[in-house]
Amino acid sequence: MKTSVKFILNGTPVEIDFIKEKRLFPHMTVMDYLREHAHLTGTKEGCGIGDCGACTVCLAERDVFGNTVISSVNGCLIMLGMLENKHLITIEGVAKNGKLHPVQQSLVEKRGSQCGFCSPGMVMSAYGHYLNKKPFTRSSIESSLSGNLCRCTGYESIFQALMDIERYERNDENIELPDNSTEELFIEKEGCVYIKPPDLQSLLKYKRWYPQYTLVSGASDLSVKYKTEHPGSVTLIDVSDIDELKGIAIDKDNLTIGANTSIESAKEALSVYYPQVSEYLSTFASLQIRNKASMAGSVAGASPVGDIMPLLLALRARIVLTSDKSSRTIESRDFNTAYRKHIMADDEIIEKFIFRLPSDKQKLFCSKQSKRKDMDISSMTFCISLTIDNGIIGNVSTGFGGMAAVPCASGKIEEFLTGRSFVEETFIKAKSLVRQEFRTISDMRGSAEYRLMVAENLLIKCFNDLK
């Protein structure tokens, strides 16, 4: 058991002992550490809650197979204790030996660098794109920069500069990683406790001992809460590096996704079998957040407007809940019990999600409605899975978000559609069931009437998209 973390910062090994370093805490954000303690102020603080991308940094780490993976992440969200065994790259570490990186050089030549406040974050998102050997096309750049806001003018010069990178010869960059430590991290300091168990067995032990402690993986939700509420004490169990919760496995019948798998990795895995998932989950926050936010974190938050649970409902995914005593598998429809409440016992965690592989006749439609395309919470979501066999609808399963106190299915719509002809008239008639099924409310994200009307119209859109 140790009280320090080791990582690499822009090529330089760093070790932080949180007991000796009086001003440093494992739950403080990487952005605060960089600016206030490492004095690397190129990483900017804009919103502080993951909305603007000014704090974007790149993180290199090992995946479950030991390969090095590089992600752009929000420095204002990830916690300092999460840097163990990783290589953190900031804007100060992009240029080498006084020579600008092609991303930087192109932005200079095409005048894509503007006030300097959001530009470092833009560079880091593009740098991560470059390191991952992705093509610089208009659409791919838009995806990579979806979480970066420009406060000065427009984005056109930035797009032109990044597309121009294709003219440079790409060189592989060796991103070193520290030796992989599997020692348990346990820090108790000034009323705060931060535990980082190395494996699932250790996690389940601590979950039984300290059921009231909060589990944290990507911290995309928790860091925002801490930023706004300033808690006097923090008690966390960091599950971000537990490999048993990250795996993705496929057999002849099922796709199994570990609870700690990032939203981005889950999106890529599911999109192989359900191509519609790619566009749907691309509107989940930004790439920086999707790179760290976990599947279980989204589901365990039990938000009535979460984007993940309606998809699980439509695909009739099963959820494996585990404690150090037993494990049980439940239907996703049984998970939420009330507003912000779920079925998990105090000593249980979400271990994995199980999806049935689709048949040739299965179709999926999913849609998220929000005020902005990117970086916005949904007003309502609608997902539906069904089969079409000789023009007849079967195996209907739905998932709605933002229509009730919990994400839920519509039994009335499922029953009505089953066995009917796959024609527009069927879906027009199904519209009337929306108002019978839901008694939604108005709030800042949308009025009740808006949600009901959109849900009705999405039934028609579903038919038009799937026909």
- Domain harbouring 108, CATH code: 3.10.20.30
Both tokens assigned to 57:
């940094």
Domain C-terminal end among 118, 149, 178:
178
pTM, two decimals, is 0.95
CATH, residue 457: 3.30.390.50
Q: pLDDT at residue 195 above 80?
A: yes
pLDDT score, position 462: 98
Q: What one-character DSSP code corresponds to residue 166?
A: G
Both tokens assigned to 127:
């740098």
In a domain, 15, yes or no: yes
Cα 184 to chain centroid, rounded: 25
Mean pLDDT of 103-112: 92
pLDDT score, position 108: 92
In this prediction, residue 371 has a pLDDT band, given cuts at 50, 70 and 90, of: confident
What CA–CA distance (Å, rounded) separates 50 from 219?
Answer: 10
Domain C-terminal end among 178, 194, 228:
178
In a domain, 19, yes or no: yes
- Whether residues 170 and 290 share a domain: the answer is no
In this prediction, residue 460 has a pLDDT band, given cuts at 50, 70 and 90, of: very high
- Whether residues 164 and 267 share a domain: the answer is no
- Whether residues 160 and 265 share a domain: the answer is no
What CA–CA distance (Å, rounded) separates 128 from 144?
Answer: 9
Q: What one-character DSSP code corresponds to residue 316?
A: T
pLDDT score, position 373: 78
- Percent of the chain whose pLDDT exceeds 70: 100
In a domain, 222, yes or no: no
In a domain, 152, yes or no: yes
- Whether residues 169 and 291 share a domain: the answer is no
Q: What one-character DSSP code corresponds to residue 54?
A: T
pLDDT score, position 346: 96
- Whether residues 299 and 395 share a domain: the answer is yes
What CA–CA distance (Å, rounded) separates 96 from 86?
Answer: 20
What is the span of the domain harbouring residue 255? Answer: 246-466
In a domain, 203, yes or no: no
Q: pLDDT at residue 13 above 90?
A: yes
For the chain, the domain total comes to 2
Pairing label, strands 192-196, 235-238: parallel
Mean pLDDT of 105-113: 89
pLDDT score, position 98: 92
What CA–CA distance (Å, rounded) separates 143 from 290?
Answer: 11
In a domain, 209, yes or no: no
| Cβ contacts of 199-202, under 8 Å, gap ≥ 24 | 199/242, 199/243, 199/244, 200/242, 200/244, 200/245, 200/322, 200/351, 201/324
In this prediction, residue 100 has a pLDDT band, given cuts at 50, 70 and 90, of: very high
In a domain, 297, yes or no: yes
CB 454 within 8 Å of CB 380 = yes
Query: How many degrees, rounded to 5, is the angle at CA 217 between CA 443 and CA 9?
Result: 120
pLDDT score, position 116: 83
Q: Read off the pLDDT of residues 270-314 as tens digits, 9 standing for 90 and up.
A: 999 999 999 999 999 999 999 999 999 999 999 999 899 999 999
Torsion angle of alpha carbons 377, 379, 385, 388, nearest 10°? -130
pLDDT score, position 170: 86
- Whether residues 164 and 288 share a domain: the answer is no
Q: Read off the pLDDT of residues 51-85 as tens digits, 9 standing for 90 and up.
A: 999 999 999 999 999 999 999 999 999 999 999 99
In this prediction, residue 376 has a pLDDT band, given cuts at 50, 70 and 90, of: confident
pLDDT score, position 114: 76
Q: Return the residue matching tokens 């004095």.
A: 39
Mean pLDDT of 409-414: 98
What CA–CA distance (Å, rounded) separates 367 from 462?
Answer: 9
Q: Read off the pLDDT of residues 315-366 as tens digits, 9 standing for 90 and up.
A: 999 999 999 999 999 999 999 999 999 999 999 999 999 999 999 999 999 9
- Whether residues 269 and 409 share a domain: the answer is yes
Q: How far is CA 412 from CA 175, 313, 416, 435, 439, in A?
A: 54, 15, 6, 11, 14
Domain C-terminal end among 178, 194, 219:
178
Query: How many degrees, rounded to 5, is the angle at CA 341 between CA 455 and CA 384?
Result: 30
- Give Rg (Cα) of the chain: 23
Q: pLDDT at residue 223 above 90?
A: yes
Mean pLDDT of 441-449: 92
Q: pLDDT at residue 151 above 80?
A: no
Mean pLDDT of 232-260: 96
Q: pLDDT at residue 168 above 90?
A: no
Q: pLDDT at residue 398 above 80?
A: yes
- Percent of the chain whose pLDDT exceeds 90: 92
Concatenating the DSSP letter of every residue in 363-404 gives: EEEEEEE-SSSSS---SEEEEEEEEEETTEEEEEEEEEESSS
What CA–CA distance (Å, rounded) separates 295 from 220?
Answer: 12
Q: pLDDT at residue 377 above 90?
A: no
- Whether residues 127 and 252 share a domain: the answer is no
In a domain, 190, yes or no: no
Q: Please name the residues in contact with 449: beta carbons below 8 A apart, sequence gap of 6 or more.
A: 442
Q: pLDDT at residue 267 above 80?
A: yes
